[in-house]
Amino acid sequence: MKPHLIALSCLLSIPLLGIVYIYLNRSRGASTHSLLTDLDEQTPFLKIFIVPYLVWFVFILVCFVYLAFKNRQLYMKTLLLYNIGLVICYCIYAVYQTHVPRPEVSGTDWLSRLVQYVYNSDQPYNCFPSTHVLTSYCIMKAFASAREISRPIRLSVSTISILIILSTLFVKQYVLLDIAGAIAVVEASYFIADRVKMRNRRPAVIQELGNKRFLRMDQ
């Protein structure tokens, strides 16, 4: 269990980075921008989507723990890219703060109370790119690439991830450009990681080819 516990301890990097978000998640007055579009204004507020929005907290933890035991290399890669994505998001928040207008929720049913709880505990600032979407999309890509994981599990993870992404719109926590920005950050992180990996592998491949050629000449 020791290797698994060491790997799982790396998850502490997420709440540690979250301390930065707490500092950034406050209004900076006139310097706050809005990315609201006409399509966002036409998107209905559906309080039922607060359920997948809050499921995100448990879902992400379960997925990371599952990957740590199933495919540790993919787990470490996903966690690293996620942390890089968070750093990118926080850097954007520091220089370009956005704001999302929220509807007035006055109901007393349990769904309305959950929405009110989220609104009260999370200020409507620093939304571009969406960290909720960033994590969900990152997890979805990781599971989709893991062919050793059964297809039903991969489909379930993709379905829940998509519901979480949609929930950010329907509970009015984020707008469309926030989602697009998060997906762009993940794709850019994967692209850079793949290019770095290819560059590091190139000398080893050249050396291997050279060794094979030398052995062939020696024979």
Distances (CA, A) of 51 to 132, 137, 158, 160: 14, 18, 17, 11
Over range 147-151, report the average pLDDT: 93
Q: How far apart are CA 66 and CA 60, in angstroms?
A: 10
- Rounded to 5°, angle at Cα 8 from 64 and 146: 35
Q: How far apart are CA 127 and CA 136, in angstroms?
A: 15
pLDDT of residue 203: 56
Confirm if 92 and 20 have CB atoms less than 8 A apart. no
pLDDT in tens, 166-201: 999 999 999 999 999 999 999 998 998 888 877 776
Highest-confidence segment of 113-117, 201-205, 215-219: 113-117
What's the pTM value of the predicted model, to 2 decimals?
Answer: 0.87
- Dihedral angle sign, alpha carbons of residues 82, 88, 94, 100: negative
Q: pLDDT-based confidence at 18, cuts 50/70/90?
A: confident
Q: pLDDT-based confidence at 12, cuts 50/70/90?
A: very high
pLDDT in tens, 83-122: 999 999 999 999 999 999 999 998 899 999 999 999 999 8
Residue 6 clears pLDDT 80, i.e. is over it: yes
pLDDT of residue 209: 47
- Dihedral angle sign, alpha carbons of residues 178, 82, 52, 157: positive
Residue 214 clears pLDDT 50, i.e. is over it: no
By C-alpha distance, which of 175, 171, 191, 190 is closest to 56?
171
**% of residues, the chain, pLDDT over 90:** 68
Neighbours of 72 (CB within 10 A): 14
pLDDT of residue 3: 80
